[in-house]
Amino acid sequence: TYNNLNTSGSGTKTLGGDVIVGGNLTIGSGTVVDVSSTNNSLNIRALSVAGNWSNNGTFTPRSGTVTLTGSSGTQTISGSTTFNHLTINGTGTTKDFGSSTNTINGNLTVTAGVMNAGTSTFIFNGSGSLAGANAKRFYDVQINSGVTTTISSDQVFIARNLINNGIYTYSSGVKKTTLNGSSAQSISGSGTTTFGDLTVNNSSGGITLSQDVSIDGALTLTSGIISAATNKVTIGANGSVSGGSN
């Protein structure tokens, strides 16, 4: 257990066990923080951080889980980080991702608190789920080829672009995605995109499709339009459309 944990200088700093940081974690430039010294399936270290996460170096996640546990105010995340599993916790707090770039190799779970996407980018580079009872809020989302990203709980919000080169889908029961940007948004890529429910709430340019999409549940056009061009929007047999106008 540490209060604040700062790393500096060259070389690799290895977690010898589960680590709790009660304050800020700062990974210095040129520094590698490695979840374990050997790369095997038992590298499941847990790293909990209650303060700000600042990555100016390299974080090697192995098979571990990072939990952001701040219990008051705003907890900021900055830099470019690859996580295996990332859990957001802390009732009554905001996790502010600012302009960070976050690569997720496994699951993203929001169990408590508010996820503020800022202008961040989330890249899903391994198959996993978007889970947890609280809202999952994104700005730019990218799903890489060969990756399946599954919504396993409601409340996914995307404020700008979805680039899907893999599979975007949902688990049993219809789960909702809301496109709620304040500027023009797009859905693109070479993958397969299947929504449960989809709500469009963007009056500042609407949504432009550069790939076909399927909606198995309800399409709700709260504000803004979908510009499909030559692409298809397929509504499932039990689906519905509401809102909008010709």
**pLDDT per residue as tens digits for the range 180-201:** 999 999 999 999 999 999 999 9
Q: Rounded to whole angstroms, how far apart are CA atoms 199 and 206?
A: 12
Judged by phi (left if over 0) then psi (alpha if -120 to 50, else beta), residue 229 lies in left
Query: How many of the other CB atoms lie within 10 Å of CB of 238?
Result: 9
Q: How far is CA 214 from CA 34, 145, 219, 235, in A?
A: 40, 19, 10, 6
Does this model's pTM top 0.85? yes
Q: pLDDT value at position 153?
A: 87
**Encoding tokens for residue 22?**
């009660």
pLDDT digits (tens, 9 = 90+) for 205-221: 999 999 999 999 999 99
Q: pLDDT value at position 178?
A: 97
Sign of CA dihedral 140, 61, 76, 130: positive
Q: pLDDT value at position 45?
A: 82
Q: pLDDT value at position 17?
A: 85
Q: Give per-10-residue mean pLDDT for the chain (246 aa).
A: 92 89 96 75 78 97 94 97 97 96 98 97 98 96 98 94 98 89 97 97 95 97 95 96 79
Q: pLDDT value at position 41?
A: 52
